[in-house]
A and B are shown apart, each in its own frame.
Chain A
Amino acid sequence: MNEQEIRVYRDLMGANEKWASETRIILEAQNIHMLNLIGSPGAGKTRLLERMVPELKRRLAFAVLEGDVETTNDAERLAALDVPVSQLLSGGSCHLEAKLVHTALCDLSLDSLGLVFVENVGNMVCPAEFDIGEHGKIAVLSVAEGEDKPLKYPLLFREASAVVVTKIDLLPHLEFDLAACRANLQAVNGDIPVFETSARSGEGISNLVDWLCRRCDPKA
């Protein structure tokens, strides 16, 4: 039996990329910065957003696209703080894809917005693979997890534009080695800014908000 070879060279992320590009066009036109928050379940992504709300609100208009596998609990928490929020249910999928984010973004009132956060589904693997049209990924890592996470999930920490270490108020109760964590982050991504925060005490939140505002408006 003779075989025929068909050369294809087809990008397998092409369909997702198409929607990510459409999203970028809308964001550019409206001059909106979009950031993709990625971290494991329970890393404190929603709590971090809640804690930033008062300070961030004073400085720029922002909205949240809240990704979850199920429930609208996280979206309700943010809506209670008068943050424009749209819920994205991934329907069992462990990550958000560009088309879902694009549709949700189009449902938001974009006038005057400066920043959109997308809180991805809690997971450190799949969300790092899928471009959703964002300008940057923010890796969220809690000190309750382990300082070796950057080495275990190198794609996420390599792709991220910044890392937010959360729950540092718990450090006295844990064996988490913050210096080793910084060294691991440096090994994976030597250029990455690291913000050490506690949503409970408020430590580090202002630094992070400053950085976010500078990203949205480099002249500020």
Chain B
Amino acid sequence: MCGCFGKNWGALMHELALCSRIVDAAREELTEYSGEALRVYVVIGALHQIVPSFLQEAYRALTRDTVLEGTDLVLRFVPVRVQCRCCDWEGEIAPPFFSCGRCGGTSVALRTGREFYLEKLTITEKESA
């Protein structure tokens, strides 16, 4: 922590906890390749209460002096979708209101919005000898 986030580190705690998972996973995947890392693509469900700018700041701090230093963190957000337990409607909703878009019922099952995975990495292609 050591002041790398300036005054903001307390507010970043949440993003820091999640970002350390991104960095650890990407570094582990990269050990199998010799190319230089360029971009790290992460998919995040909209239900995770993440502030993208905070996540980016955490990423810059956590990748300092690692093979990921200077790489781009590319985020793709997945909207929240639910399925109604009454009328079976399935569609996108705007949290925090979890209700059916057709009958208005509030008994709905979550279909998407909880994703949090490392989708892909891009690296420089190895020069052919």
Which residues on A are within 8 Å of B, measured CB to CB?
1-13, 15, 92-95, 125-126, 129, 150-155, 157-158, 186-191
- Chain A residues with Cβ below 8 Å from B122 are 3-6
**A187 and B97: CB pair below 8 A?**
yes
- Chain A residues with Cβ below 8 Å from B25 are 8, 10, 12
**B38 and A3: CB pair below 8 A?**
yes
**B96 and A125: CB pair below 8 A?**
no
- Chain B residues with Cβ below 8 Å from A6 are 29, 33, 120-123
**B47 and A8: CB pair below 8 A?**
no
Which residues on B are within 8 Å of A, measured CB to CB?
1, 13-14, 17-18, 21-22, 25, 29, 33, 35, 38, 42, 47-49, 95-99, 105-108, 110, 116-126
- Chain B residues with Cβ below 8 Å from A95 are 17
CA distance A94 to B18 in the complex (A): 12
- A9: contacting residue among B118, B123, B126, CB under 8 A: B118
Interface of B is mostly: mixed
Known: A158-B47, A187-B99. A94 touches B17 (CB 8 A): yes
**B96 and A8: CB pair below 8 A?**
no
Known: A1-B124, A6-B121, A125-B49. A93 touches B29 (CB 8 A): no
Closest to B126 in A: A4
**A153 and B49: CB pair below 8 A?**
yes
CA distance A15 to B116 in the complex (A): 13
CA distance A163 to B119 in the complex (A): 35
**A12 and B18: CB pair below 8 A?**
yes
**A11 and B117: CB pair below 8 A?**
yes
CA distance A190 to B98 in the complex (A): 8
CA distance A26 to B91 in the complex (A): 38
CA distance A177 to B61 in the complex (A): 42
- Chain B residues with Cβ below 8 Å from A4 are 33, 35, 122-126
- A8: contacting residue among B18, B116, B119, B126, CB under 8 A: B119
**A154 and B95: CB pair below 8 A?**
yes
**A93 and B17: CB pair below 8 A?**
yes
Closest to A97 in B: B17
Closest to B45 in A: A155
- Chain A residues with Cβ below 8 Å from B1 are 92
